[in-house]
Amino acid sequence: MAAALKRAYLAVYNWAVFFGWAQVLYYAVTTLLRTGHQDVYAAVERPLQLAQTAAVLEILHGLVGLVRSPVSATLPQIGSRLFVTWGILWSFPETRTHMLVSSLVISWSVTEIIRYSFFGTKELLGSAPSWLLWLRYSSFLIMYPTGISSELGLIYIALQYIKASGKYSLRLPNTWNYSFDYFYASIMVLLIYVPGSPHMYTYMLGQRKKALSKSKTM
């Protein structure tokens, strides 16, 4: 009974977020073709925020044992995306009309549509077709570099606005006798991408090799 409830919950979760990302991709592509990249963010803002923030549940799924995905791999990916979604795009409107928003949104949404449909199908049917398995473990070869490049570019572009606005920074003196500079924190995030991105890409290559070789023996 518990196993059935777990599978039902994960199926509903995966397909709900799948439809959220499908909406993001539809709005992004139609807006890009109709009026141009400068309007893409405005068209996808709310569904993008909802779909990306829903991924926080994946960290909880890993922590409580609902899924086998290691939190050490899930947390950095979700954390960096939330930082770009809320800490950059939502916080600094000046970045929203840049063409990198289009490449970011399309890279993220294509990746997530494939991933959530793969896991949703597995939870519903017990397995996924071989073509979907291949897409799940191969699409990142292109989508991860384009997505990461867009994230890095948007964070870099935002730095000038972060510094000028002083937003989210805490200056001394204050009641807590503590200072925080969002500008330098954002630079630190950029620096973390340098070793973090190749490490994650190598990890995903290993997962791809394992998953595809396993499928050949079945």
- Active-site residue, 178 included: no
Q: What angle do CA 140, 145, 147 make, to 5 degrees?
A: 85
Look at residues 88, 212, 79 and name the one whose alpha carbon lies nearest to residue 152: 88
- Active-site residue, 144 included: yes
- The residue assigned the tokens 């995306």 is 81
Looking at 41, 45, 151, 203, which residue is catalytic? 151
CB 148 within 8 A of CB 197: yes
Looking at 27, 41, 116, 144, which residue is catalytic? 144
| The token pair that represents 113 in the structure block | 């549509």
CA–CA separation, 102 vs 189, rounded Å?
22
Q: Give catalytic residue positions.
A: 144, 151
